């Protein structure tokens, strides 16, 4: 599939192509299971509702333990992971996932300046620096979620 | 040969040996003290050798020779007095009187024929013994004021002087007795004489090994304590300890001058005076040693440093050693050792003072490093705080922004796709809520910034605290907590109404935030000791005792606070403190884990009362 999400720079001129993409991608998206992990309930609700509306399968976890349980039970194809969380942070979650043998791509979501470095630290597929735009979120999910799907 | 003969021979040999040792010293270093010592032991050696030679040859000496020997014996205590003067200060009059009496006695002896009248002999012996005793006492007194090696030397000398006086008394009076008393007195006199000669030698001119042994205890003590010195509270404390240690180790007085980089001057903290003394580089001995970076010795400070002559005269400074205190390339200052008279110092003391100065340099440099490390730590701490602030502010601002931006864009997208679709109420509510959260955060950050400039409180007006508290409490509608109010009397002060309202809002909201539903919040307002007092009590989770002292600092949050449940940057109580303190009041908290917390505020009333 040729995806046409053009990222942050996209403007209204590309609305037509986007709509097409939504229509085309719907079937594939249903096969993408995205797990959103964040300790901030607002972000969790927002991202979950956006991705659900866009046709992805989505589940949310408000903390590390919950996330690990879902990774094991639900087998997501992509994990959006917040790094700074109380009790169990993103590093610990990533480490536990890898130790459990999970190869699911992880996308780091963080408000910190060093989002890229943190992503490298846990060997993540990509990163989303908060505050991210809708287009960035969707492009990211499409890119890494679809890659895994192809594999 | 009897035992007495053996002792006599032995002591006479030792006198001669000492004479040659002292003579050798004088040849190497012709100082007044060495000269006097040479004369002293020269006279003793001469008398001894002369009597032995005369005894062996069996010749009778001519009368003039006997007169010469008598004059030499009479001169002995005078030379001793000169030696006292070499080591400590003797009043000029005493030396003159002693010299006159001695000369008079010698002249009378030259006039008289032997055998001399008993009274004369006894008077002479009395003069010699009395003058020797005076010298002995002078040395004892000097020794009491000295310390370390100098004290031990002066003790040896005073011991020798007193033995000498006793010996003179015995030998002088022996002639008045018959055997066996005469022999016993002579023998005892011989032994005492030998002991006094050895004590003189060790005290006046101790061999290097003995000098080192006498210096060792103080030096060892100083070096043992050296490691702990850099940790003393202030540099001045270190300087004092270094001075004490150097003085004890060298048996002299010690002062340290420290280079002040800012003033480009050497500073000396004179003991007993609060005002430090500043010295230019190159000025006085400290300045010279500092500038020339070498050890300087002066046996005549008044002549060598006329600028400081008054100080040297007043302070009885007759000899100075100054050594530069330098750590590698860094010139730190100078160590100045001073003594009443030059022979207090030995040649080796120059090296010793440099060793002590080097030790001082190590200690002062360690201190500088400790200070530097503390400064670096403080700077790092400040940087870390700033970074904490930045990352905390960034994180807390970006989190709600993420929701606002993504959610708003998503609503926009949906509306574009299908303009007639019903509005997503949940999404809108999320935007509103996070927008408000963002606004509160921005306000808090701006307040914190304002507070740091002390510009939190502006327009003051008479404020009825009781009325304001009930207003704040009643405003918290739709809250599951009941607000119990206890206002005792009308308490009116002159405050910034908006800020006090913000303070009360914050405290009441905190109380509600951190306590279980349906537990009441109790707010009391009363007057105590000319102060308005407010307390807000909850039955919440409480604050751990370790966190209690920190809760009014910025970005401080209780360690038992679950970030997921309670949003916040940890600025609320920090701003509360700012509001209270800018009003001239106090804020504090008491708490018990699991039982609840009480926040207390005390605000001054005085000004407000007068206005009302």
Residue among B403, B415, B433, B562 with most chain A CBs within 10 A, to mutate:
B403
Residue from B309, B257, B313, B256 nearest B280 by CA: B257
Distance from CA of A109 to the nearest CA of B (A): 10
- In the predicted model, is pLDDT for residue A22 greater than 80? no
pLDDT value of residue B114: 65
Q: Are residues B90 and B149 in the same domain?
A: yes
B406/A134 touch (CB, cutoff 8 Å), yes or no = yes
Confidence of residue B478 (pLDDT cuts 50, 70, 90): low
Determine the residue of chain A that is closest to B411 in CA distance: A50
Residue B415 located in a structural domain: no
For the four alpha carbons of B52, B56, B59 and B60, in that order, the dihedral sign comes to positive
- Compute the nearest-CA separation of A40 from chain B (Å): 6
Better pLDDT: B77 or B563: B77
**Statement to judge: residues B179 and B238 lie in one domain:** no
Is residue A2 included in any domain, yes or no?
no
User: Does residue A130 sit at the B interface (CB-CB below 8 Å)?
Assistant: yes
Q: In this complex, do A131 and B406 lie within 8 Å of one another by their Cβ atoms? A: yes
Q: What is the pLDDT of residues B78-107, one digit of tens each?
A: 888 888 888 887 887 888 888 898 888 888
In a domain, A59, yes or no: yes
Cross-chain Cβ contact B413/A134 below 8 Å: yes
| pLDDT of res. A112 | 81
Residues of A in contact with B414 (CB under 8 A): 53
C-alpha to C-alpha distance for B291 and B511, rounded to whole angstroms: 68
Give contacts of A53 with chain B, Cβ < 8 Å: 410, 414
Average pLDDT, chain B: 85
Average pLDDT over residues B42-58: 80
- Do B276 and B359 share a domain, yes or no? yes
A120 within a domain of the structure (yes/no): yes
Number of Cβ pairs closer than 8 Å across A and B?
75
Name the token pair of A20: 């097409």
Report how many domains make up chain B: 3
Query: Which residue, B352, B373, B394, sits at the end of a domain?
Result: B373
Same domain, B185 and B52: yes
Phi then psi for B426, rounded to 5 degrees?
A: -60, -45
pLDDT in tens, B576-607: 999 999 999 999 999 998 899 999 999 998 64
Residue B342: closest CA among B331, B333, B350, B334: B350
Say whether A111 and B434 touch across the interface (CB within 8 A).
no
pLDDT at res. B392: 75
Do B590 and B492 belong together in one domain?
yes
Mean pLDDT score of chain A: 80
B118 or A10, which is more confident: B118
CA distances, A109 to each of B131, B136, B227 (Å)? 100, 92, 53
Answer yes or no: do B480 and B575 share one domain. yes
* Res. B127: pLDDT tops 50: yes
Residue A71: which CATH number?
Answer: 3.40.50.2300
CATH of the domain at B354: 3.30.450.40
Which pLDDT belongs to residue B608? 42
**Region B545-569 average pLDDT:** 71
Considering the domain architecture, whether residues B520 and B596 belong to the same structural domain is answered as yes
Question: What residues of chain B lie within 8 A of the CB of A134, using their CB?
Answer: 405-406, 409-410, 413
H helix or E strand, kind and range, residue B600: strand B596-604
- Whether B202 and B94 map to the same domain: the answer is yes
Report the pLDDT averaged over residues B229-257: 89
* Pick from B395, B430, B564: CB nearest A86: B564
Where in the sequence is the domain holding B148, given as residue range(s)? Answer: 3-206
Q: Answer yes or no: do B394 and A86 touch at CB < 8 A.
A: no
- Same domain as B109, residue B9: yes
Where in the sequence is the domain holding A69, given as residue range(s)? 7-150
**Same domain? B167 vs B237:** no
Q: What sign for the dihedral angle of Cα B306, B311, B316, B318?
A: negative
* Residue in B399, B406, B563 nearest the CB of A137: B406
Domains: count for chain A: 1
Contact B410 A46 (CB under 8 A): yes
Closest C-alpha among A88, A124, A83 to residue A106: A124
Secondary-structure percent of chain A, ordered helix, strand, coil, rounded to 5:
50, 15, 30
Of the candidates B391, B398, B406, the beta carbon closest to that of A133 is on B406
For residues B199 and B240, membership in a common domain is answered with: no
B305-339 residue pLDDT tens:
998 898 888 888 889 999 999 998 889 999 999 98
Q: Which of A73-82, B476-485, B512-521 has the lowest mean pLDDT?
A: B476-485
The answer to whether position B353 is within a domain reads yes
Facing residue for B430 by CB, picked from A45, A132, A137: A45
- Whether residue A9 is predicted with pLDDT greater than 80 in this model: the reply is no
Together in a domain, B161 and B51: yes
């Amino acid at each position: 599939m040729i995806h046409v999400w053009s990222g942050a720079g996209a403007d209204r001129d590309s609305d037509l192509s986007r709509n097409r993409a939504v229509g085309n991608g719907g079937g594939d998206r249903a096969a993408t299971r995205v797990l959103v992990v964040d300790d901030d309930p607002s972000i969790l609700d927002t991202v979950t509702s956006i991705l659900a509306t866009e046709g992805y399968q989505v589940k949310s976890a408000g903390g590390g333990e919950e996330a690990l349980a879902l990774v094991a039970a639900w087998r997501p194809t992509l994990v959006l992971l917040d790094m700074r969380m109380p009790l169990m942070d993103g590093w610990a979650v990533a480490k536990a996932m890898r130790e459990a043998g999970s190869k699911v791509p992880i996308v780091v979501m963080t408000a910190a300046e060093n989002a890229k470095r943190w992503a490298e630290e846990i060997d993540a597929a990509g990163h989303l620096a908060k505050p991210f735009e809708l287009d960035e979120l969707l492009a990211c999910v499409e890119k890494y979620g679809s890659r895994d799907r192809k594999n | 040969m009897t035992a007495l003969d053996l002792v006599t021979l032995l002591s006479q040999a030792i006198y001669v040996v000492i004479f040659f040792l002292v003579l050798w010293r004088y040849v190497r270093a012709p100082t007044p003290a060495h000269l006097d010592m040479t004369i002293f032991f020269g006279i003793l050696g001469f008398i001894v050798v002369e009597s032995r030679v005369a005894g062996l040859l069996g010749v009778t000496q001519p009368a003039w020779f006997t007169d010469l020997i008598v004059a030499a014996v009479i001169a002995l205590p005078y030379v001793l007095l000169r030696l006292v003067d070499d080591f400590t200060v003797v009043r000029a009059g005493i030396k003159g009187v002693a010299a006159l009496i001695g000369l008079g006695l010698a002249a009378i002896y030259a006039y008289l024929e032997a055998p001399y009248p008993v009274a004369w002999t006894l008077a002479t012996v009395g003069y010699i013994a009395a003058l020797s005793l005076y010298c002995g006492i002078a040395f004892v007194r000097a020794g009491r004021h000295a310390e370390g090696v100098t004290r031990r030397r002066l003790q040896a000398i005073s011991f020798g002087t007193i033995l000498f006086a006793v010996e003179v008394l015995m030998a002088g009076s022996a002639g008045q007795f018959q055997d066996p008393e005469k022999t016993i007195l002579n023998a005892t006199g011989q032994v005492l004489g030998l002991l006094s000669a050895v004590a003189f030698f060790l005290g006046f001119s101790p061999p290097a090994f003995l000098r080192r042994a006498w210096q060792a205890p103080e030096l060892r003590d100083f070096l043992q304590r050296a490691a702990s010195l850099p940790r003393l509270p202030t540099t001045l404390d270190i300087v004092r300890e270094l001075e004490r240690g150097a003085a004890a180790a060298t048996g002299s007085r010690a002062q340290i001058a420290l280079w002040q980089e800012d003033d480009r001057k050497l500073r000396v903290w004179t003991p007993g005076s609060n005002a430090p003394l500043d010295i230019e580089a190159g000025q006085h001995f400290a300045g010279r040693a500092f500038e020339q970076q070498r050890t300087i010795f002066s046996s005549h400070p008044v002549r060598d440093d006329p600028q400081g002559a008054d100080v040297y005269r007043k302070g009885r400074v007759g000899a100075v050693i100054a050594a530069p205190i330098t750590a590698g390339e860094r010139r730190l200052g100078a160590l100045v050792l001073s003594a009443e008279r030059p022979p207090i110092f030995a040649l080796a003391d120059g090296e010793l003072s440099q060793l002590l100065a080097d030790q001082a340099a190590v200690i002062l440099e360690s201190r500088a490093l400790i200070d530097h490390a503390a400064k670096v730590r403080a700077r790092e701490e400040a940087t870390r705080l700033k970074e904490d602030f930045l990352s905390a502010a960034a994180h807390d601002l970006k989190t709600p922004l993420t929701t606002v931006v993504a959610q708003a864009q998503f609503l926009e997208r949906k509306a574009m796709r299908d303009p007639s679709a019903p509005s997503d109420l949940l999404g809108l509510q999320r935007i509103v809520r996070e927008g408000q959260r963002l606004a509160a955060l921005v306000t808090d950050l701006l307040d914190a910034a304002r507070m740091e400039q002390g510009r939190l409180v502006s327009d003051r007006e008479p404020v009825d605290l009781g009325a304001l508290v009930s207003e704040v409490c009643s405003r918290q509608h739709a809250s599951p907590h009941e607000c119990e109010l206890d206002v005792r009397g009308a308490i009116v002060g002159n405050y910034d109404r908006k800020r006090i309202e913000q303070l009360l809002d914050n405290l009441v909201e905190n109380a509600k935030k951190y306590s279980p539903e349906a537990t009441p919040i109790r707010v009391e307002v009363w007057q105590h000791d000319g102060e308005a007092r407010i307390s807000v009590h909850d039955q919440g989770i409480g604050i751990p005792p370790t966190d209690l002292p920190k809760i009014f600092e910025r970005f401080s949050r209780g360690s038992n606070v679950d970030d997921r449940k309670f949003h916040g940057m940890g600025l609320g109580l920090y701003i509360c403190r700012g509001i209270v303190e800018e009003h001239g009041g106090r804020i504090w908290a008491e708490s018990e884990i699991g039982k609840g917390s009480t926040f207390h505020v005390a605000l001054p009333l005085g000004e407000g009362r007068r206005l009302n």
